[in-house]
Amino acid sequence: MRTVGLLGGGVIGGGWAARFLLNGIDVRLFDPDPEAERKVSEVLANARRATRRLMLAPQPEEGRLTFVAAPEEAAEGADFVQESAPEREELKRSLLAAADRAAAPGVVFASSTSGIRPTLLQADMARPERLCVGHPFNPVYLLPLVEVVGGDRTSAETCERAAAVYREIGMRPLVLRTEIDGFVADRLLEAMWREALWMVADGIATTEEIDDAMRFGAGLRFACMGSFLIYRIAGGEAGMRHFMAQFGPALQWPWSRLTDVPELTEELLDRLAAQSDEQAAGMSIRELERLRDDCLVAVLQGLRSRGYGAGEVVAEHERALLTRVHPTPATAIDESAPVVLHATVIPAEWTDYNGHLHESRYLQVLGDASDALFRYVGIDEAYLADAGNYFTVETHLRFRAELAAGDPVSVAIHVLAADEKRLHAWLELRRADGEVAATAEHMYLHVDAATRRSGPVRADVLANVRRLAGAHAELPRPAAAGATIGI
Amino acid sequence: MRTVGLLGGGVIGGGWAARFLLNGIDVRLFDPDPEAERKVSEVLANARRATRRLMLAPQPEEGRLTFVAAPEEAAEGADFVQESAPEREELKRSLLAAADRAAAPGVVFASSTSGIRPTLLQADMARPERLCVGHPFNPVYLLPLVEVVGGDRTSAETCERAAAVYREIGMRPLVLRTEIDGFVADRLLEAMWREALWMVADGIATTEEIDDAMRFGAGLRFACMGSFLIYRIAGGEAGMRHFMAQFGPALQWPWSRLTDVPELTEELLDRLAAQSDEQAAGMSIRELERLRDDCLVAVLQGLRSRGYGAGEVVAEHERALLTRVHPTPATAIDESAPVVLHATVIPAEWTDYNGHLHESRYLQVLGDASDALFRYVGIDEAYLADAGNYFTVETHLRFRAELAAGDPVSVAIHVLAADEKRLHAWLELRRADGEVAATAEHMYLHVDAATRRSGPVRADVLANVRRLAGAHAELPRPAAAGATIGI
């Protein structure tokens, strides 16, 4: 997939734009709002920041974003169209019908609607069979869930192809068999949200207290497991039936306001607004967004370390990127000098309370450069799975200059020697002005994927390593290589 | 607080026992179930495992657990009583009344009930003013939330004192002003749970699909923020009033089944049980518990790294433990061997997608140990501000074994040499079983606070450094110290 057409560039449409662009896909976006360009660029800035923090894999080159003047232009030349207009059925229907006329046959359409049935949305389309719902969650660039639902006239292939698009950009499609207002997730959220509004209306608790009742308790579980699995565990060895026997009766107790919806009186709206202001404690929406994203990144990183739930989705996407985002073949790199295969910008969270890069993060940048070297000599995902990988077994670091948040840096690698198992290299971490901030003398050892012990590199990779070592043998040896530490 | 009395040792009572014991408090537990001792010991094993992984601070010595034969015995000599019997009002009332007669005056009682009003529970107590609700969430040893609610006859002091007890054991009390069936959290959870049961009953989605609709999407947000703050952010700069104007109308749409509760027919119970079995995919409850706990630990660690929400509660408790459980002053350290001044547990967010500690984080643990060494030789806050600090200018690292999230590690430091500006040391990063995971040869240089250039260490600190270097000169020199890297 090369290009997507987006209809709508609000919080959700902007989030889609960010997720597609950061996965290397070009975006053609239509939004009549004169502020759309500014709004999308703000979402994109947040998304770049969060994605760079989250992903361990190299990112593809960002796609190109084009703003267009009509829905037809967004759909022209697009391989996939995602609609994220405001939740007004008529508006969505007319946008989808217009884009449908301009899109090539076989292009799949999805609507981001939070709850309008796709059967209603496809009513005016000439090719209704190609529309399904693809309902994401905010922020779209971080949360992997997308609910995929077809309408009466949607073809089965459409839902499958939309799901494949979402998987390609690191998401987790949940394909529903049955069309229903609100789909699944929003029905759960709405039920809870109504109950929360009742509690504010009845003066039981403030917005902040209600939020605290979730995020310090059950909300932590919901990041990992849903109610059914959680309650199964609570029921113990006797299983779900036992749990229902024990706790089913409570369903009949007066524990929630079921009968209706609180009236949104001026008084209730005032109370909600005032309590929400107090809860935000003067933080702007931009600050709250960054706080939310930082916490989501941390939660996703945590779950990735356990290989579970949304963390596993992130890890899978990283593995896929490792294969897809391959540096251009060896020919494009000048091997007669130390090779520069990795460049980055120092992120703020890598710095200490003085604003300087923490010593351990020097090694992280150097490690990322090592990974780039391994990919360069031919270690791809298949090789990692079947053959093995290089590991750093030893390094001699010299810290020479401080680095601060925002400093652009690059790493040049000089291969000093190599044999069938080992690779000895000299790395220089350089600032944009050429000053060397750190040097490292690394010894990498090749470890066999099957035995988990050191073993020879595969011949094709070894050939690349030897070619590079041969070229670098012509270079002057760094004066400090091979030195010892001592007083 | 020295001793608590617990009434009930099921999943919740066992969780309380674990949280109190692991905070160094003795527990007297009454539960007529002949299996209680086994059940509590299983919960305690899970809790030890999870707490050891979660907490970076040193743990106090575990309290003593005693099983007693009557509620009166649990309350005798206790400083606090927590009731966690099954959700039957009569049973809870009689247990509380019996324990009330035996407890010393001034001892506070709390009930773990999920939703029964404290006014009902205190009815038979001779001292009803000392009972409040203290409603925790499973697993009690990991989730910080506890809802504190008084009844008609509860004194204000009772709620305050219960909240103080919970804070002492690392929890986050949410003191509610108004007594209401189901309190706050369970009203939210019940509303969602009923909707979920309807979707299973109507055949819309399976238990696994409904769980996935939460844990891959909004559930990740609930670990950080509740609905009100999340929706405020979604509403953008215009605030909560704008959000309600935009999304309020959807409340009137048919997005949830409000009118009643699904009947728990045999057919529905069979369906729930069968789908839940399929979802569990053969994992036992013990395995699911550990999976849940591992994920919760990772989520809490992630939030701790951002200093937010439940992560901040954990961090505060760690800071309190650091003061309470403090290593004795320098005199207690044996300088005739390498000094162990830093021990920690590998947090999940330091690991890569294979679950192994990232190479850069080895250097972080070693850097933290270096900081501990500097504090040990007398570099305190005043010294840092006025005199200067040591910086690592050079290090030679050898990676010898993989480390995973949850591994307890410590660092032993052997000072090899020192002069008025420099300190040369050999560091070993060791696992709990003594295996050396990495070694490092560090050269530290003292930098003057005023000039930001290298300068001599102050005399008192230098004396400590020289004493340590002198003692360590008697030790055999590590064989690999001073070695070079090469093929």
Q: What is the ipTM of this complex?
A: 0.77
Is the whole-model pTM more than 0.80? no
B178: three-class secondary structure by DSSP: coil
Q: Which of residues 281-310 of B touch A (CB under 8 A)?
A: 284-285, 288-289, 291-292, 294-303, 305-306, 308-310
Q: Are A307 and A314 in contact (CB under 8 A)?
A: no
Highest mean pLDDT range out of A188-202, A233-247, A464-478, B183-197? A464-478
CA geometry: angle at A53 spanning A52 and A56, to 5°?
75
Asked which of A40-54, A185-199, B192-206, B244-258 is least confident by mean pLDDT, the reply is B244-258
- The pair of structure tokens assigned to A74 is 């967004």
What single DSSP character describes residue B104?
A: P
- Distance between CA atoms of residues A396 and B156, nearest Å: 62
What distance lies between CA A182 and its chain's CA centroid?
A: 25
Residues 6+ apart with CB under 8 A from B409: B343, B344, B345, B346, B365, B403, B429, B430, B431, B432, B437
Question: How far B120 CA sits from the closest chain A CA (Å)?
Answer: 15
Q: What is the CA radius of gyration of chain A?
A: 27
For residue B251, the model assigns a pLDDT of: 59
- Distance between CA atoms of residues A189 and A385, nearest Å: 40
For residue B261, the model assigns a pLDDT of: 57
B-chain CB neighbours of A255 within 8 Å are: 115, 181-182, 186-187, 190
**Helices B239-247 and B227-235, packing angle to 10 deg:** 90
* H/E run at residue B131: strand B131-136
B465: three-class secondary structure by DSSP: helix
Q: Are A183 and A133 in contact (CB under 8 A)?
A: yes
Give mean pLDDT in consecutive 10-residue pieces for chain B, a chain of 487 residues: 95 96 96 94 90 76 96 97 94 98 97 94 97 96 96 97 95 93 89 86 89 94 90 76 72 54 72 78 82 87 82 83 54 85 82 81 93 89 88 95 89 96 97 95 95 94 95 95 89
User: Shortest CA distance to B140 belongs to which of B256, B251, B289, B360?
Assistant: B289
For residue B71, the model assigns a pLDDT of: 98
Single-letter residue type at A485: I
Single-letter residue type at A340: V
- Distance between CA atoms of residues B36 and B285, nearest Å: 17
CA geometry: angle at A368 spanning A365 and A371, to 5°?
155
Q: Which of residues 99-158 of A touch B (CB under 8 A)?
A: 114-115, 137-138, 142-145, 147
- Distance between CA atoms of residues B20 and B65, nearest Å: 10
pLDDT level of residue A123 (50, 70, 90 thresholds): very high
Q: Which of residues 28-57 of A touch B (CB under 8 A)?
A: 56
Question: How far A182 CA sits from the closest chain B CA (Å)?
Answer: 5
B413: three-class secondary structure by DSSP: strand
User: Shortest CA distance to A366 belongs to which of A318, A305, A430?
Assistant: A430
Over pLDDT 70: what percentage of chain A?
92
Q: Are A131 and A143 in contact (CB under 8 A)?
A: no
pLDDT tens per residue across span A272-302: 777 778 878 888 877 888 888 888 988 888 8
Single-letter residue type at B281: A
- Distance between CA atoms of residues B308 and B304, nearest Å: 6
For residue A353, the model assigns a pLDDT of: 55
On the question of pLDDT at A255 being above 60, the answer is no
For residue B249, the model assigns a pLDDT of: 66
For residue A253, the model assigns a pLDDT of: 59
Single-letter residue type at B123: A
On the question of pLDDT at A29 being above 60, the answer is yes
Over pLDDT 90: what percentage of chain B?
60
Select the residue from A215, A231, A446 to test the B interface by mutation, using most B Cβ atoms within 10 A: A215
Question: How far A485 CA sits from the closest chain B CA (Å)?
Answer: 6
For residue A486, the model assigns a pLDDT of: 85
Kindly determine whether residue A227 and residue B211, on different chains, have CB atoms separated by under 8 Å: yes
Range list of H helices, B351-392: 359-376, 381-386
Question: How far A16 CA sits from the closest chain B CA (Å)?
Answer: 15
Q: Which of residues 215-254 of A touch B (CB under 8 A)?
A: 215-234, 236-237, 239-241, 244, 246-248, 250-254
Q: What is the 3-state secondary structure (H, E, C) of chain A?
A: CCEEEEECCCHHHHHHHHHHHHCCCEEEEECCCCCHHHHHHHHHHHHHHHHHHHCCCCCCCCCCEEEECCHHHHHCCCCEEEECCCCCHHHHHHHHHHHHHHCCCCCEEEECCCCCCHHHHCCCCCCHHHEEEEEECCCCCCCCEEEEEECCCCCHHHHHHHHHHHHHCCCEEEEECCCCCCCCHHHHHHHHHHHHHHHHHCCCCCHHHHHHHHHHHHHHHHCCCCHHHHHHHHHHHHHHHHHHHHHHHHHHCCCCCCCCCCCCCHHHHHHHHHHHHHHHCCCCHHHHHHHHHHHHHHHHHHHHHHCCHHHHHHHHHHHHHHHHCCCCCHHHCCCCCCEEEEEEECCHHHECCCCEECHHHHHHHHHHHHHHHHHHCCCCHHHHHHCEEEEEEEEEEEECCCCECCCEEEEEEEEEEECCCEEEEEEEEEECCCCEEEEEEEEEEEEECCCCCECCCCHHHHHHHHHHHHHHCCCCCCCCCCCCCCC
On the question of pLDDT at A262 being above 70, the answer is no
pLDDT level of residue A201 (50, 70, 90 thresholds): confident
Kindly determine whether residue B87 and residue A250, on different chains, have CB atoms separated by under 8 Å: yes
- Distance between CA atoms of residues A11 and B11, nearest Å: 42
Burial pattern A386-412, b for ≥16 Cβ within 10 A else e, equals ebbbbbbbbbbbbbeeebeeebebbbb
Q: Are B110 and B134 in contact (CB under 8 A)?
A: yes
* H/E run at residue B67: strand B65-68
Q: Which residue has the tokens 């500006």?
A: B421
Q: Are A313 and B216 in contact (CB under 8 A)?
A: yes
Give the residue, B332 or A205, on which the prediction is more confident.
A205
- Distance between CA atoms of residues A469 and A463, nearest Å: 10
Q: Are A366 and A430 in contact (CB under 8 A)?
A: no
On the question of pLDDT at A137 being above 80, the answer is yes
Kindly determine whether residue A256 and residue B187, on different chains, have CB atoms separated by under 8 Å: yes
For residue B328, the model assigns a pLDDT of: 40
For residue A27, the model assigns a pLDDT of: 98
**Helices A227-235 and A239-247, packing angle to 10 deg:** 90
Residue of chain A whose alpha carbon sits nearest to that of B236:
A285
